[in-house]
């Protein structure tokens, strides 16, 4: 199977010369979006996860979820509407669903709270992130954009990955093609602080577990799938049955790096069930939902960002939203 690394190198060979003007300065929202465009091109849509489809449904809080947080949607039995967008990884809106560059997949959730506000979760289908900070992420993007197939060795990407083994593992790890957006687990790789009504604080990361189980195609099967097979499949699936996920929080333990999303915590860490997501209707693709966006730092009382990258991501998302709203 073609890895993300190989796919990005092929894609970057077709990028405009703007990529060479990028500089590895301190990351800002504008510079992060510029760096993403340097890799994927400027399509005036989302800078990353540019191709997606949207569903709606409900979230029902599990009994005892309020012991973790006082957030209104996490009180036992609470039921709120949700809007969910599933997406392919790359910042290319026409990428085929069975392209290696389309992984990891994204799942973004918008909870519609009783007071009229929203809270969002932005997750992807790989447990971890290539780097620890926004500055390093920008450096990685610049290295990718400036490493074309004919670039002399060692390329900027070779040099970067030589000093960042976790990024190399992320880029080259096998990511098999899912049978459905509904048969993938998703991970919120950044940490949050959850506080309940008694003031008890817990640090943790979101995990989203598919009720249908995890199911993937072989490489041979994946090659035969259509360019929009994931979008088409989930639209048909939700017509016949709800698409169900369990939302949990993986709790940190002593020694875990709260502010480093590149380090996945051991699977042995305890989890807390927050509730069940039930998606019951397709709202169509991005053309029908052009004003929809998600902010990872949009949180209610009882939930706080515990990783600086969360605010950095949100800043870049805001710039990307502004670009595509022009």
Measured from the Cβ of residue 24, the count of other Cβ atoms closer than 10 Å reads 17
Q: Of 78, 55, 54, 56, nearest to 274 (Cα)?
A: 78
Active-site residue (options: 34, 43, 49, 73): 49
Q: What is the 3-state secondary structure (H, E, C) of 124-186?
A: ECCCCCCCCCHHHHHHHHHHHHCCCCCCCCCCHHHHHHHCCHHHHHHHHCCCCCECCHHHCCE
Quote the CA–CA distance of 263 and 296 in Å, as a whole number: 19
- H or E segment at 70? none
Q: Is 34 a catalytic residue?
A: no
Helix (H, G, I), strand (E, B) or coil at 260: coil
SS3 325: coil
Contact 281, 56 (CB under 8 A): yes
Torsion of CA 81, 315, 313, 36, to 10 degrees: 120
Spatial distance between the Cα atoms of 103 and 87, rounded to a whole number of angstroms: 9
Distance CA 87, CA 50 (A): 7
SS3 266: coil
Helix (H) or strand (E) holding 5: helix 4-12
Ramachandran region, residue 41 (left: φ > 0; alpha: ψ -120 to 50; beta: rest): left
Residues annotated catalytic, as ranges: 49
């Amino acid at each position: 199977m073609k890895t993300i690394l190989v796919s990005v190198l092929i894609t970057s060979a077709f990028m405009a010369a703007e990529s060479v003007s990028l500089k590895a300065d301190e990351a800002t929202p504008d510079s992060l979006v510029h760096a993403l465009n340097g890799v994927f091109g400027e399509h005036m849509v989302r800078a990353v996860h540019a191709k997606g489809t949207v569903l709606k449904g409900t979230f029902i809080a599990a009994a005892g979820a309020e012991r973790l947080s006082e957030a209104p949607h996490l009180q036992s039995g609470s039921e709120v509407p949700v809007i969910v967008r599933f997406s392919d990884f790359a910042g290319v809106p026409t990428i085929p669903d069975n392209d290696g560059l389309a992984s990891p997949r994204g799942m973004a959730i918008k909870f519609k709270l009783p007071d009229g506000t929203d809270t969002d979760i932005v997750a992807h289908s790989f447990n971890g992130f290539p780097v620890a900070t926004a500055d390093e992420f920008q450096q990685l993007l610049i290295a990718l954009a400036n490493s074309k197939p004919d670039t002399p060795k060692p390329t900027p990407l070779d040099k970067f990955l030589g000093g960042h083994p976790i990024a190399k593992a992320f880029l080259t790890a096998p990511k098999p093609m899912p049978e459905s957006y509904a048969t993938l687990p998703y991970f919120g790789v950044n940490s949050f602080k959850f506080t309940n009504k008694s003031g008890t604080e817990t640090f943790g990361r979101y995990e989203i577990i598919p009720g249908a189980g995890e199911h993937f195609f072989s490489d041979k099967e994946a090659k035969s799938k259509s360019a929009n097979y994931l979008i088409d499949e989930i639209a048909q699936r939700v017509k016949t049955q709800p698409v169900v996920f369990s939302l949990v929080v993986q709790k940190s333990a002593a020694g875990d790096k709260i502010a480093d999303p590149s380090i996945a915590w051991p699977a042995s860490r305890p989890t807390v069930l927050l509730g069940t997501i039930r998606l019951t209707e397709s709202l169509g693709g991005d053309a029908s939902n052009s004003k929809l966006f998600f902010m990872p730092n949009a949180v209610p009382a009882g939930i706080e960002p515990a990783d600086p990258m969360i605010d950095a991501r949100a800043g870049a998302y805001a710039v990307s939203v502004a670009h595509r709203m022009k």
